[in-house]
């Protein structure tokens, strides 16, 4: 779909991540087998879904991508707009619309909708835990910490910083 068309390199990387992970963990199940995304978050915060940004660090890898879909019964011209904080922009976001974004780099929230309107979101995303599992030589962070040397930890941290810088370089 949209992700494969507009971000082929990132799509292929996440597709490879999925195939590598399911090869190592044959019992792993993705929420939607036909999707490359390993996780789905449904924001059911009612009419005022995620309207404030608290500055939390998202639990996503910096070079990952997500598809955000607006759902609900609301007038998108009167509320429910998406706010992208790093870019300083507000975008109308009607029900059924999708936005492709890197959730580890872009913080977003929504303008409140009027009373008696309902706005929700579905976020499909690639879990950073899977990426770390593969980079930890098929181990969880806890198991990696038990056996890794100081050099292993240094190498992993250097890779994390490099991946983050590379992801930021994709933006103008």
pLDDT, tens digit, 9 for 90 and up, residues 23-39? 998 898 888 888 888 88
How far is it, in rounded angstroms, from Cα 2 to Cα 96? 14
Given this model, what pLDDT does residue 57 score? 47
**136-167: buried (b, 16+ CB within 10 Å) or exposed (e) per residue?**
beebeeeebeeebeeeeeeebeeeeeebeeeb
Average pLDDT over residues 2-10: 81
CATH topology of domain 2-128: Jelly Rolls (2.60.120)
- The alpha carbon of residue 126 and the mean position of all alpha carbons in its chain are separated, in whole angstroms, by 6
Across the range 141-147, mean pLDDT stands at 91
pLDDT at 62: 61
The dihedral formed by the CA atoms of 44, 45, 48 and 52, expressed in degrees to the nearest 10: -120
Q: Using one digit for the tens of pLDDT, what is the confidence trace for 38-79?
A: 888 888 865 445 555 555 544 556 667 889 999 999 999 999
Q: Determine what percent of the chain is predicted with pLDDT higher than 90.
A: 26
What's the whole-model pTM score? 0.76
Percent of the chain with pLDDT over 70: 84
Domain ranges of the chain: 2-128
What is the distance of C-alpha 169 from the center of its chain? 18
């Amino acid at each position: 779909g949209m992700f494969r068309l507009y971000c082929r390199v990132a799509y292929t990387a996440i597709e490879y991540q999925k195939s590598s992970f399911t090869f190592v963990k044959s019992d792993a199940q993705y929420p939607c087998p036909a999707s490359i995304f390993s996780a789905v978050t449904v924001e059911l915060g009612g009419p005022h879904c995620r309207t404030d940004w608290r500055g939390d660090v998202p639990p996503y890898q910096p070079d990952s991508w997500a598809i955000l879909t607006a759902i609900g019964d609301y007038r998108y011209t009167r509320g429910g707009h998406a706010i992208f904080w790093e870019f300083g922009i507000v975008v109308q976001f009607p029900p059924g619309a999708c936005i492709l974004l890197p959730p580890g780099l872009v913080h977003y929230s929504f303008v409140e909708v009027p009373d008696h309107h309902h706005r929700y979101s579905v976020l499909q995303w690639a879990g950073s835990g899977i990426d770390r599992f593969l980079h930890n030589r098929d181990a969880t962070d806890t198991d990696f910490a038990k056996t890794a040397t100081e050099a292993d930890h240094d190498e992993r941290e250097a890779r994390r910083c490099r991946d983050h810088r590379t992801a930021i370089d994709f933006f103008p």
